[in-house]
Structure 1
Amino acid sequence: MTPFGQALRNLRARKGVTQSEMARAIGVSPAYLSALEHGRRGRPSFDFLQRVAGYFNIIWDEAEDLFLLAEASHPRIVLDTAGLGPKYTAFANRLAREIRTLPSDVVDEMEKLLDKASIRR
């Protein structure tokens, strides 16, 4: 599941709407909504996001949060390490191989390290 898929599922649950009801209302198939929620589809289009925001009558801040989650929810990432040293490429490949086996607390620690490195730049 992607962050956007989880948010969409939570939004539907909070509003008491089924996938079929929502799909019919915004003009997509229930299968498409299911695939988005389960992370089997890439980022949704801007048009789709606008239809979701309109359907649920989401206010600006919540809509912006939903749009940002969609941007960060592509389930198949491509990392471009061209021009970087060999250790960067090796690390990217290792992460790709092992990401499914990492415990949640390890991912949390890696995010903290990335946040700390971003602050230093």
Structure 2
Amino acid sequence: MFYLKYGECLKQKRIEKNINAKTMAERLSISPAYLSSLENGSRRAPSFALQEKIAEALSLTEDERYQFYDLAAENKQPPILSKDLTEFIYQNPQIIKMLRYAMKCHLTEKEWKDVAGFVYKTYKY
């Protein structure tokens, strides 16, 4: 789905915003060495709290934030989703958009059942 890896994206966005590594590390209250290890891929994506601080420091748009968070999730490979689901979701970007929209709408369990019912009735395999 994405052409960049997490660290590459972080570094590219930092450079685009004309922020040097030392200044960025200071803004995030992390060491320049840790920032460097994130950017070069020798460390996995940081906690979500630090990801939010990074997104804020880089003044990312909502879409850029979502891409950034998705790259971080890809980097971490969360164990709560099986590999086949993770791959399916990232191969179908519309799923991510739909889930984010549903999240913003605060769908209830019944509404999710309605969505699932529509899919089950409409599509057979």
Q: What TM-score results when the alignment is normalised by the length of structure 2?
A: 0.56
2:63 counterpart residue number: 61
Q: Secondary structure at the match of 1:66?
A: helix
Question: CA offset at residue 53 of structure 1?
Answer: 1.1
Separation in structure 2 between the aligned mates of residue 70 and residue 55 of structure 1, nearest angstrom: 16
SS, match of residue 75 in structure 2:
coil
Question: Which consecutive residues of structure 1, in runs of 5 or more, have no partner in the other structure?
Answer: 80-110, 116-120
Whole-Å Cα distance in 1 between the matches of residues 45 and 10 of structure 2? 12
- d(CA) in 1 for partners of 2:56 and 2:37? 21
Q: Deviations over 1:16-73 (max 9, x none)?
A: 1111110001111101110011111112110111101111221211101000001112
Structure 1 runs (4+) greater than 4 angstroms displaced: none
> Secondary structure at the residue paired with 2:42?
coil
Amino acid aligned to 1:44: P
1:48 has 2:50 as partner: yes
1:15 Cα deviation from its structure 2 partner: 0.7
| Alignment map for 1:1-121 (pairs within 5 Å) | 3-74=5-76
Task: Supply the AA of the counterpart residue of 2:59.
Answer: N
Percentage of pairs with the same residue? 32
Q: Separation in 2 of the partners of 1:14 and 1:69?
A: 18
Distance 1:45 1:36 in 2: 12
For 2:56 and 2:7, the matched residues in 1 are separated by: 17
The gaps in structure 2 that reach 5 residues or longer are 80-86, 92-124
**TM-score for both structures, normalised by structure 1:** 0.58
RMSD: 2.8
